[in-house]
Amino acid sequence: MQCSNGGVMPFGSPRLRGIREHLERAQLFFALAGNEKDPKVSYRILIGAVYSCRAITELMLEAAEKQEVKNLQNPDPKLNRKAFESDVTSKLPYYLLLERIRIHDFHRFGILPPDPNFTQVMFGGPMKLKTQKGVAALAVTDQGPQVLTSGNSKVELQRPLLIRDGEFFDDSSSKYVNLGDVLNAFLARVPDVIVEFEKRIA
């Protein structure tokens, strides 16, 4: 990378620097949330950490799509992205859940902090219930979303997110999980994934 004076910046890949910056932001937000006494403020800070966690992986996926990752040189950039995402998903806990949290908070309905005065349950779609010679129904339970169909009816869900009193239902473990625990697990593993990524970028 060229400096304005014609020299070369000693910092390496701009994308890798961005990834490291987002890691530091996520770690900072996580620490701030842990020290915050107001539960609502703490929750909001944790939601902020989600964005940087997603940014880390999104920047990696972008590199894969741009053919910047070694051993991913398929002419179809989408297949490179998909292959890399499959690899990353297996190494990062709660990868898919964090993706859904970010999508729903940013694009769909926004996520509110829990209120100790009320029991709050929110299920976000979109979803389609198609009935054909039968019924199609969806119920929210302690075991997560339960789909009920008969005949040729079906229920189609697109990245659904179920929240109960501030906790998120995780499809992989089939249980509700605390956002702090989700981020703690993710941040414990992502530095190693970043090191692996650094070795693979062209």
Residue 65 falls inside a structural domain:
yes
DSSP state of 17: H
CA–CA separation, 106 vs 97, rounded Å?
14
What pLDDT band is residue 185 in, cutting at 50, 70 and 90?
very high
In a domain, 156, yes or no: no
> Which secondary structure element, helix H or strand E, spans residue 157, and what is its range?
strand 154-157
Domain tally for the chain? Answer: 1
Among 51-60, 89-98, 138-147, the least confident range: 138-147
In total, the chain counts a number of residues equal to 202
Asked if residue 7 is part of any domain, the answer here is no
Q: Is residue 136 part of a domain?
A: no
Of 191, 200, 179, nearest in space to 56 by CA: 191
In a domain, 132, yes or no: no
Residue 103 buriedness (CB in 10 A; 0-12 / 13-18 / 19+): middle
Please say if the pLDDT value at position 37 is more than 60: yes
Compute how many other C-beta atoms are within 10 angstroms of the C-beta atom of residue 74: 13
171 in a structural domain = no
Q: Is residue 120 part of a domain?
A: no
Residue 59 pLDDT exceeds 70: yes
User: What pLDDT, on a 0 to 100 scale, did the predictor assign at position 9?
Assistant: 46
- Quote the distance between the C-alpha of residue 48 and its chain's center: 12
Q: What is the pLDDT of residue 130?
A: 79
* Residue 33 lies inside a defined structural domain of this protein: yes
Both structure tokens of 97: 């859940």
Domain that includes residue 82, residue range: 14-113+178-200
